[in-house]
Amino acid sequence: MTTRRGTLGGHTYEFPSLVELMAKATPARSGDVLAGCAAESAAERVAAQTLLADLPLATFLEEQVVDYDEDDVTRLIVDTHDAAAFAPVASLTVGEFRDRLLSWAAVGDEAAISGLAPGLTPEMVAATSKLMRNADLIAVGRRTRVVTALRSTLGLPGRLASRLQPNHPTDDPLGVTASIVDGLLQGSGDAVIGINPATDSPGQTIALLELVDAVITRYDIPTQSCVLAHVTTTLRALEQGAPVDLVFQSVAGTQAANRGFGVTLDLLAEARAGALELRRGTVGGNVTYFETGQGSALSADAHRGIGGRPVDQQTLEARSYAVARHFEPLLVNTVVGFIGPEYLYDGKQVIRAGLEDHFCGKLLGLPMGVDVCYTNHAEVDGDDTDTLTLLLGAAGCSFVIAVPGSDDVMLHYQSLSFSDVLTARQVLGLRPAPEFEAWLARMDLLDEGGRVRELTPDAPAARALLAAATS
Residue 410 is labelled as binding a ligand:
yes
Residue 249 is labelled as binding a ligand:
yes
Spatial separation of the C-alpha atoms in residues 418 and 411, rounded to whole Å:
17
- Nearest 5°: the CA angle 141, 146, 149 is 145
H or E element that contains 148: strand 148-149
Spatial separation of the C-alpha atoms in residues 401 and 343, rounded to whole Å:
21
Spatial separation of the C-alpha atoms in residues 406 and 311, rounded to whole Å:
33
Report, in angstroms and rounded to the nearest whole number, the Rg of the chain calculated over CA atoms.
22
Per-residue H/E/C for 373-399: CECCCCECCHHHHHHHHHHHHHCCCCE
Neighbours of 457 (CB within 10 A): 6
Residue 164 is labelled as binding a ligand:
yes
Spatial separation of the C-alpha atoms in residues 272 and 80, rounded to whole Å:
19
97's CB contacts (< 8 A; 6+ apart) are 57, 89, 124, 128
> 304: which DSSP letter?
B
Closest C-alpha to 147, from 135, 129, 165, 159: 159
Spatial separation of the C-alpha atoms in residues 45 and 23, rounded to whole Å:
9
Residue 431 is labelled as binding a ligand:
no
Report helix, strand and coil shares of the chain as percent, to nearest 5.
50, 15, 35
Residues 463/455, Cβ–Cβ less than 8 Å:
yes
Residue 49 is labelled as binding a ligand:
no
62, with CB counted inside 10 A (0-12, 13-18, 19+), is exposed
| DSSP string covering 237-276 | HHHTT-----EEEE--SSHHHHHHTT--HHHHHHHHHHHH
Residue 166 is labelled as binding a ligand:
no
What residue numbers does the annotated binding site for adenosylcob(III)alamin cover?
197, 249, 299, 410
What residue numbers does the annotated binding site for substrate cover?
163-165, 196, 291, 371
What residue numbers does the annotated binding site cover?
163-165, 196-197, 249, 291, 299, 371, 410
